[in-house]
Amino acid sequence: MKKISQSLLKLVLLLNDGAIHDGDALGVSLGVSRAAVWKMIKKLREYGVVIHSTKAKGYQLAEPLSLLQEDKIVQELYHQPVRVVCFENVTSTNDYLKVHPAYDKRLFDVCLAEMQTAGRGRLGRHWVSPFGQNIYLSCRYYVEKDISELGGLSLVAGLSVVAALTTLGIRDVRVKWPNDVFYQGQKLAGILVEVRAETHMLSEVIIGIGMNVNMEVNAASQFTEIAQYVTSLAEMQGHYCDRNEIAVVLIKQLLSDVQLFTAEGWAAFTTRWDNVDYLNGKSISLLQGEKRLSGVARGVNENGYLLFQDQEGVSRLFSSGEVSIAKDG
């Protein structure tokens, strides 16, 4: 685990104009030696960043790259009760928050990383987390509620992602129960919510969000453990996207939604859910342990459980499970 160094940040800012940069000139601009520049280039390459180099001319980024800027994000969140930390690499942003106690439990702790070496998905899956391309964000907050009162919370996080994207001008994004974020049938973001009881009436909630931003989509499909189509914001919009702006909007939205959830519970979100429910009315197949059930999705109930009408027409409720769309759905 390592914080993003100022010189690495500046080096990438300089290289991101797409031009060829002489190593000596980069050293002068950064106030470091040519050898130090070379070391940083080597590190970026080890992280998977493609940098062309020619002896005579210098270094050139093969693709646009801009890193997370902690100070910029913190400045944008100046009036919010938020603490933000950005790492160059971390095992998992969720795990970082799990093992690092809160400095002040009234604050919304946020951890972002350029890459995760052990990114985790739902149901024990791996989450592909290449350097500098996507959002890997976890936030932690403490809520004065028993775990049993937190039904619906993991769905709220999906709604926050949709609302943040809407703020950024990106429409038609849907949530596939419980909290996969989809665009035109392809997965854009995934959410891992982990809740721990501190005491009877105090719960620690960690919400981890992985959003595909600039990653080449084929790269993701190569790694997915389940057959599912994947997309990214860059793919949807046809251009490179600034992760700093996305992170700020997402953090503000998450904070406001967890505050609303704390005050009013899931009831405050049902209309928002109905507007973006990807599964509603679709023929689905639900995997529960070893058992596979077929039926039609019928929205969610007052606790955020999936309403499901099985093939005999019987209505059933599910609090967990893996859903896939039936071929004719």
Binding-site ranges for ligand BTN (CB under 6 A): 92-94, 116, 119-122, 125, 127, 136-138, 180, 190-192, 208-210
Is 58 or 130 the residue whose CB approaches ligand BTN more closely? 130
Q: How far is the CB of 186 from ligand BTN (least distance, A)?
A: 13
Q: How far is the CB of 1 from ligand BTN (least distance, A)?
A: 13
Q: How far is the CB of 234 from ligand BTN (least distance, A)?
A: 18
Is 34 or 122 the residue whose CB approaches ligand BTN more closely? 122
114: its two tokens: 């350029």
| Short-list 322, 280, 313, 318, CA closest to 295 | 313
Is 72 or 98 the residue whose CB approaches ligand BTN more closely? 98
C-alpha–C-alpha distance, residues 308 and 16, integer Å: 49
SS3 content of the chain, % helix, strand, coil (to 5): 35, 30, 35
C-alpha–C-alpha distance, residues 37 and 68, integer Å: 19
**47: how many CB neighbours lie within 10 A of its CB?**
15
139: its two tokens: 């936030």
Q: How far is the CB of 26 from ligand BTN (least distance, A)?
A: 32
Task: Name residue 199's beta-bridge partners.
Answer: 202
The answer to whether 158 and 179 have CB atoms below 8 angstroms apart is yes
Is 30 or 67 the residue whose CB approaches ligand BTN more closely? 67
Q: Which residue is nearest to ligand BTN (CB)?
A: 190
C-alpha–C-alpha distance, residues 322 and 31, integer Å: 53
Q: Counting runs of H as helices and runs of E as strands, what totals does the chain give? A: 10, 15
Is 49 or 111 the residue whose CB approaches ligand BTN more closely? 111
Q: How far is the CB of 164 from ligand BTN (least distance, A)?
A: 15
Is 69 or 212 the residue whose CB approaches ligand BTN more closely? 212
C-alpha–C-alpha distance, residues 91 and 127, integer Å: 11
Is 119 or 295 the residue whose CB approaches ligand BTN more closely? 119
The answer to whether 228 and 187 have CB atoms below 8 angstroms apart is yes
Task: Name residue 285's beta-bridge partners.
Answer: 294, 324
